A and B are shown apart, each in its own frame.
Chain A
Amino acid sequence: MKPRAILLIVVAFALGAFAAGSIGVRVIREVRTAEGATSLPPSVTTTSQPQDPVTFQVSPTETIIGSAALVPTTLDSSGSSVAIGYDLVTLAPHAGVESWMAFFVSVGGTEIGDLDHVYPRGWSIDTEGGSFPGGPANPTTRVARFDVEEGFSLSDITDVRITDAVALFPLDVPFTLSQDEPRREIAEGVTVELLNVSDQGTSTIVQVGVSFDPLVFDAVFIDGDGPGWRSAVREAEGRPRFNLTWVGGGIPADIPLVMEAAVWVPLSGEFAVSLEGLR
């Protein structure tokens, strides 16, 4: 065979291989990229993949506070007042949790967490000219109100921040009271006092008073600690007082008790709130 014929055959072979290779490499890359999107191990994430919306993600402008999402719903202004309405949606996993455990309420056939245990109590509206503090009146309110100056325009708002958010946690504290030490601060913001001890037949009635800062504690219950106690009863009205019945024989000098409380725990940091779509 002539040298030029050999050269031409070689060049043709190379061109054919190159063309097929170019197409093939692209095919390999696309196939493996598609596989990678579905077969990566659970510990791997890809930020470029769009995520499908699901029911709990009620708004892309939600703010995560503790184990809940805050979603602004309304923005109103009248005179020297601004009001921001919002919803709280739980992010806490709760499949299989009894509804009575979660204090769920049923709305339109859908169970929704009653998220009074997340309390965004301090807010701030920021403008070029300054900041205006505000917030909801209590944990069950879903409106944050702000006093602003006359002539305030919603378009002046540059930022909205939650500056003080708290969440409700249980706190159990065992303690003792005695005639020698009838009054004690058993946790920061909670003081208990032995008010009375009286025999009643084979039982002993122990009366304990409690004072606590409602900004720190949502609820406080006093119970007996250990064997020998019947169920404690809280007095219906007035200051928090608890009547406990001891049936364990002679009552100990150091009376064993326990505080079972729900305490507001501050969540560190500030939380930016988006008003997108509300003005």
Chain B
Amino acid sequence: MSDDPNPDYRDLLRSPYDPDPDDGAGRSGEGDSELPWVPAVVAAALGAFLVGAFVVYAVVAGPVEDEVLVDESTTTTQAVPVQATEVPDGFVAITDEIGARVVSVDTSAHAITVAVSTAVAGTLDPAEVEPLHVAYWVLDDGDTADANPMVRQYEIIGSLGNVTVDFPPQASLREPEIIPYLASGETTSHTLTLELDASVPQVLGGMMIDFGNGRVVVIDELTIADGWGWVAWSTLGDAVAMVDVIVTFEGTDDPGSDMIDPTRLASAHLQTPGFFGAQVPPPLYGFTGSASLVRAGEPLSSVNSPTAITVDITATVPDSVVQGSPIPLPSGG
């Protein structure tokens, strides 16, 4: 050994399987027992345990913020927000359940008339989904200052999912789109009852129903005649409402019809609910409205005269309104 000038280097270069020069023995079975198998197994178990503990923690705690999980089994990245579910051709998702699209735009002297169709999204059952309750629509050309609220919206019986919206005829159609403002949540209804004498005709006006927060429904005109009537109303504070009026001629007789209340003077949709021939659907929300009142009872006469007249004016407003997704008008619209 003494002739080796670099014993340390030799020691470093020695294979673990070389005999240990210090013990004077060659490789033997006894030498295997010197390998640290037990500590190695313990170390492997410890490593597995530590990593396993981290896995359990990761599963329970979920991904950390900003962590993006990509499912490599599909080309679809789940984190990309698109519309709620698949909606039929050309529809814009308005809610998680309903899509809408503008079918046509017609400009005339009295209005810009927009036809809107709605359909349920994806595989939803349309019988399980309520129709859109739109408080109002706005025709927007991209400039908020030029946004034009609707004049009115209306439906027709039997044409499910279709609504017509009239906008002011002078509204701009540059970069056009319409925006639905949805009546969400609950509604509030108030009924104003008037007790009047039995004389006809009577013309009333100026009655108000205050819903608070500046939301007021004003009955601008209510005409009550023996066989007809008329109501016109408007709102203050950008409120929208649905208004129904029922005039009851107290003490008049019943001609025997059980389908129509003969004592009532009311909108046709209230006179004939459930009657298949009825042509007037209930009103939708509006900033203003009007309605003819009709009556089906016996004509008023000396033998069939009311003892008093009761008027029930019921107004309904949405408690909250949320802006929906814009719907583009068809090109050339």
Identify whether the interface residues of B are mostly helix, strand, loop, or mixed: loop
0/1 string, A118-147, CB within 8 A of B gives 1: 000000000000000000000000000000
B256 at the interface (CB under 8 A from A): no
Q: What size tier do the contact residues of chain B reach? A: 35 or more
Query: CB-defined interface of B272-314 with A at 8 Å, one 1/0 digit per residue?
Result: 0111101101100000001010100000000000000000000
Assembly CA distance A47 to B122 (angstroms):
11
Is B278 touching A100 in the complex (CB atoms < 8 A)? Answer: yes
Q: Which of chain A's residues has its CB closest to B226's CB?
A: A247
In angstroms, Cα B126 to Cα A90, docked, is 8
Bound-state CA distance A47–B82 (Å) is 11
Instruction: Give A215-256 interface residues, CB cut-off 8 Å to B.
Output: 221, 223-224, 226-231, 247
A44 to chain B, nearest CB (A): 5
Q: Is the interface of A mostly helix, strand, loop or mixed?
A: mixed
A266–B104 touching, CB < 8 Å = yes
Contact: A167 with B162, CB < 8 Å? yes
CB <8 Å contact, B223 and A93: no
CB within 8 Å: A-B pair count? 268
> Is the Cβ of B162 less than 8 Å from the Cβ of A117?
yes
Among A2, A16, A27, A92, the residue within 8 A (CB) of B126 is A92
Nearest chain A CB to B105 CB, angstrom units = 10
The answer to whether B119 touches A48 (Cβ under 8 A) is no
At the interface, yes or no: B255 with Cβ under 8 Å from chain A?
A: no
User: B66 an interface residue at 8 Å Cβ cutoff?
Assistant: no
Q: Is the CB of B118 within 8 A of A67?
A: yes
B residues at A contact (CB < 8 Å): 16, 34-36, 39-41, 43-52, 54-55, 58-59, 62-63, 69, 71, 73-74, 76, 78-86, 88-90, 96-98, 103-104, 108, 110, 113, 115, 117-120, 122-132, 154-164, 166, 221, 223, 225, 227-228, 230, 273-276, 278-279, 281-282, 290, 292, 294, 330
**Chain A contacts to B: CB under 8 angstroms:** 1-2, 4-5, 8-21, 23-25, 27-29, 31-33, 35-36, 40-48, 51-57, 64, 66-67, 69, 90-98, 100-103, 111, 113-117, 167-175, 187, 221, 223-224, 226-231, 247, 260, 262, 265-269
